[in-house]
A and B are shown apart, each in its own frame.
Chain A
């Protein structure tokens, strides 16, 4: 069974002590294999053996430029062992854009269609490992079929899910994810935990792109977590060191971070239980490393989710205590993750006090032995920085900068510059820090840092004199960095005159300080300094002579740029009048406000990754564009725009708190544009109303006038309702009966209610209905405003494919009327008070057949109107009254008269209410009811 030839070959190679020998052996083997392959009459076994040898050489790093065809041939072998090696060969030797991919697509499709599942699996592995556009386009639908088909075995489904994930990551446009969303989401309920794990990975990727289409995953994920963590319902095979399937737990916890928090109170309670259980389970530290790792992995993910849901919740408070313990841990991994998770918390919360308690520990982590930990410490300090602690943190960081790893320094400089700018309360501090930064870590200070200083100094008059003074001071220190010279050159050229009267800062002293280093600078800096000098001539005519000498000298240098500047400046300076000089050297205008180049630089550094980040390092404002927030933004537009505009916050010296300041935001700044809401492209055109089940009207109409009865029935499902109402509140019970002898899986119900009507389910519905069983779902209703539409309900379940039924729920406006009785005097008093149109509506209704007074009476009673006897002088005429209740828009009194005319079979209906909308809608309801004739046969 083992390939002897291969074993011998590997042993041979291992015996080669020097590389030359190995090369010799490899070349010999390659030549041998080449001849064998050319021969063409190889047995399957030999082909397999030689392909294996080639693969081994490939793994060792040798270039393999032949043998691909033999691997391709092996794929179509009838023998499993040959097929398997063939597939291994193509996955290792081919990359996604290889021309040979075309050759294997057909063989792969054949194996995907094969009845032998093991062949399906090999094909799926190959697609997942190679996965180019060609494969994606021609095979995605086959993969999808294997994933959702009820006939697929669990082990095929798992592979199909992840294969699809790989195709989606590479070529998202090829996968029509919204169309497939529902069937894929339903697989979360699969009893096989492995299938659930794989499909959750898939959904996590898809839902980031199409959050709306995968909303249904929220309750499913929560229920599955609850089942595993709280109910402890799982198969023993999946317990990993006492922890049930940690990978699934983490995946589900992460998936939920890509959605806004659920609004369903039952779901949030369930989720709360889940998180609390996880926190409780983590109170003890297991001895076993694996057990501990798995437990902590879940804990950290749970904390991330808790922070996402509500960063001020009790759970997060408990978590903060655990984290505080973790960052002191002896175990490096735990310290690392503790700092990382704390940075997440600091990045989104307003409440930094808890974290600030640990400031000392965190600053100490900058001195950890391990660079990985030091990095996390830096991120955390950056995230937790605000006005109150900026000075401490910045000065610690500057102190640490001298001993920091080279790899860290550039990032540190950027972060220090940003923090200083963001949280400065005194101008002088800002200038001090930045100049100190440039002087002590000059090499790591990117161009954008000194550009930014210049921008800020130019835009803030109060800073100009101070900066000129300081920059002059720094330039006199023995180790003046070239970047300092650049800042100095610019600032003195613009504002040198402001300090010219100070001792040691006379014009010639300023010039001498700059020019002392002129010869040592790069060409670009020298060019910049020449511009400073021409400005000096304008500011200080008394030193013109010294400067002209420099220009004169540089008129003859080799560098074209310098030479040109020197010549032009010379010409301007020696003109008969100073008009041109003055115009050219006028003070620089203020810079337009724009996004800080520093931040864009930092964001660039974070780069593109496959999964979107659920949070970003930095303050609260850097976290407003995370995926879940984008989605939430469609519901609640946060008026508090991002405070990226740093210039503003510096100019406003009285910043009281970080991040959340409303007042300092510049209006109509490009960077504060509201996040674009996630496009509802996920919905595939049709609304629920367009998809109502055929024939639903029959059942619905019968229920309009009653509270209990059948709402829908087909060969599989029977749906009935019972309801009761009181004032603006109501309770609705819906019964679902499974008429078949098999279980209905992936059962789900959702309700779309019109604005003003709240329909909440009071407990969670089962996800399946057993054979010949009935289950019940309770809803509570609350009428908040005048509602003229009825809620819609959507029922879906799995029976071969996913079936969806859309129905109207007979929750009419009239359900929220309370009947009252009025005396004749009261009635007519109010009747007159309300008066005519628009609050009065009248209609003549001609009925089919004879008028039945009893029926008319029962319609009025069923629509909850109180019939006032002996009010209308004419017997047979109805007078009815009621009060329509809402919880937010008050009560509406309803009066009506219904006058039948037996000769013509017509009614005259007159309604007066205190709201014209209610009058109109109540008329429509009664009109329809009076005309309605039940279909003759009702079962």
Chain B
């Protein structure tokens, strides 16, 4: 997919989602995909799935991701995600691969992430010693 197409999709879908009212359902159609979104305060989490995939569970994947972020950052907010965008990616990688749920246990995901952080810290300490 070219960057141009990507930008177009992001723009289209953002518009579609923002124009929906709160009471409406969390699903809508965009071309051949279903868009599932969930709003947390001013943050929207948006996913695209196959028409055949399970909508409600996709909604809960979003929620699980938010829960993990929340636990990791401690009351997560937009700024956490902006300044630590790479960590948001790392956490997502532990949750989803190839668009499929990889690990649904919050505890397991957090354990892996803290392990990564510990390694990073270790390396930073060694660096400082030099």
Query: Does A159 lie within 8 Å of B123, measured CB to CB?
Result: no
Q: How far is the CB of A13 from chain B (nearest CB, A)?
A: 9
Does the CB pair B104–A293 fall under 8 Å?
A: no
CB closest residue in chain A, given B128? A1
Among B1, B98, B102, B108, max chain A CB count under 10 A is at B98
The answer to whether A10 touches B83, judged by C-beta atoms less than 8 angstroms apart, is: yes
Tell me, yes or no, whether B26 is within 8 Å of chain A by CB. yes
Closest to B119 in A: A80
Instruction: Report the bound CA distance from A372 to B7 in whole Å.
Output: 24
Q: Which residue of B lies closest to A248 (CB)?
A: B104
Complex contacts, B86 vs chain A, CB 8 Å: 52, 55, 85, 88
Contacts of B93 in A (CB 8 A): 125, 129
Stretch at the interface among A308-316, A330-338, A577-585, A724-732: A330-338
Alpha-carbon separation in the docked complex, A613 to B93 (Å):
27
Within 8 Å by CB of B101, from A197, A237, A607, lies A197
CB proximity of B27 to chain A, nearest CB, Å: 5
Contact flags (1/0) for A112-138 with B, using CB distance below 8 Å?
000000100000110011000000000
Residue A614 lies at the interface, judged by CB distance under 8 Å to chain B: yes
Contact status B51-A194, CB under 8 Å: no
Known: A80-B116, A300-B56. A332 touches B25 (CB 8 A): yes
Instruction: Say yes or no: A158 contacts B103, CB within 8 Å.
Output: yes
Q: Give the interface size bracket for B toward A.
A: 35 or more
From residue 11 to 40 of chain A, which have CB atoms closer than 8 A to chain B? 11, 14
Nearest to A301 among chain B residues (CB) is B54
Task: Provide the bound-state CA to CA distance between A61 and B4, in Å.
Answer: 10
Partner of A332, one of B1, B24, B50, B59: B24
Residue-wise, chain B 105-124 has the 8 Å CB interface mask toward A (1 for contact) of: 11110001001110111011
Closest chain A residue to B61 by CB distance? A247
Q: Which residues of A contact B53 (CB under 8 A)?
A: 611
Within A241-289, the residues touching B (CB, 8 Å) are 245-248, 250, 254
Q: A55-B85, A125-B97 are in contact. Are A80 and B50 (CB under 8 A)?
A: no
In contact, B104 and A197 (Cβ under 8 angstroms) = yes
Nearest residue (CB) in A for B86 is: A88
B27 touches A333 (CB 8 A): yes
- Alpha-carbon distance between A81 and B105 when the two chains are bound, in angstroms: 24
Q: Does B70 contact A (CB under 8 A)?
A: no
A546 to B117 CA separation, bound complex (whole angstroms): 90
Are B105 and A159 in contact (CB-based, < 8 A)? no
Assess A240 versus B60: contact at CB under 8 Å? Given A332-B23, A371-B28. yes
B55 & A337 in contact (Cβ 8 Å cutoff): yes
Q: Which of A80, A158, A336, A372 contacts B120 (CB 8 A)?
A: A80
A372–B27 touching, CB < 8 Å: yes
- Are B24 and A370 in touch, CB under 8 angstroms? yes
In the complex, A165 has a CB within 8 A of chain B? yes
Docked CA distance A647–B37 (Å): 43
CB of A609 within 8 A of CB of B25, answer no
Asked if B45 lies at the interface with its beta carbon under 8 angstroms from chain A, I say no
User: What A residues does B121 contact at CB under 8 A?
Assistant: 1
Question: How many interface residues does A have (CB within 8 Å)?
Answer: 74
Taking CB atoms and an 8 Å cut-off, the chain B residues in 17-33 that contact chain A are 20-21, 23-29, 32-33
Contact B105 A238 (CB under 8 A): yes
Q: How far is the CA of A246 from the CA of B117 in the complex (A)?
A: 29
Are A337 and B50 CB-contacts (below 8 A) given A85-B86, A165-B98? no
The yes or no answer to B82 lying at the interface (CB within 8 A) is yes
Please indicate the chain B residues that have their CB under 8 angstroms from the CB of A169 in the complex. Answer: 98
Q: Is A198 an interface position by the 8 A CB rule?
A: yes
Whether the Cβ atoms of A166 and B120 lie closer than 8 Å is: no
A369 at the A/B interface (Cβ < 8 Å)?
yes
Asked if B50 contacts A294 (CB within 8 A), the reply is: no
Given A300-B54, A332-B24: A240 and B64 interface contact (C-beta under 8 Å): yes
User: Which single member of B1, B7, B89, B103 contacts A95 (CB below 8 Å)?
Assistant: B1
Contact A293 B123 (CB under 8 A): no
Give the complex CA separation of A159 and B100 in angstroms: 10
- Give the docked Cα–Cα distance between A128 and B97 (Å): 7
Contacting B119 at CB < 8 Å: which of A81, A125, A248? A81
B52 at the interface (CB under 8 A from A): yes
- Digit string of A282-326 for contact with B (CB within 8 Å is 1, else 0)? 000000001001101100110000000000000000000000000
Contact of A81 among B63, B106, B120 (CB under 8 A): B120
Q: How far is the CB of A377 from chain B (nearest CB, A)?
A: 13
Task: Note all chain B residues with C-beta closer than 8 A to A128.
Answer: 97-98
Partner of A333, one of B55, B97, B104, B119: B55
The yes or no answer to B9 lying at the interface (CB within 8 A) is no
* Interfacial residues of chain B within 64-105, with CB under 8 A of chain A in the complex: 64, 82-83, 85-86, 89-90, 93, 97-98, 100-105
- Evaluate contact between B24 and A369: CB separation under 8 angstroms: yes
Contacts of A162 in B (CB 8 A): 97-98, 100, 102
Q: Which residues of A contact B127 (CB under 8 A)?
A: 45
Q: List 25 A-B contacts (CB under 8 A).
A: A11-B83, A52-B86, A80-B119, A84-B90, A84-B116, A124-B97, A125-B93, A155-B103, A158-B97, A165-B97, A166-B98, A194-B103, A198-B100, A201-B98, A245-B104, A247-B57, A248-B104, A294-B56, A294-B57, A297-B57, A301-B54, A336-B27, A337-B55, A372-B27, A606-B32
Interface residues of A (CB under 8 A from B): 1, 7, 10-11, 14, 45, 52, 55-56, 59, 61, 63, 79-81, 84-85, 88, 92, 95, 118, 124-125, 128-129, 155, 158-159, 162-163, 165-166, 169, 193-194, 197-198, 201, 237-238, 240, 245-248, 250, 254, 290, 293-294, 296-297, 300-301, 332-333, 335-337, 369-373, 375, 606-614
Nearest 5 A/B pairs, CB to CB: A166-B98, A332-B25, A297-B56, A162-B97, A201-B100
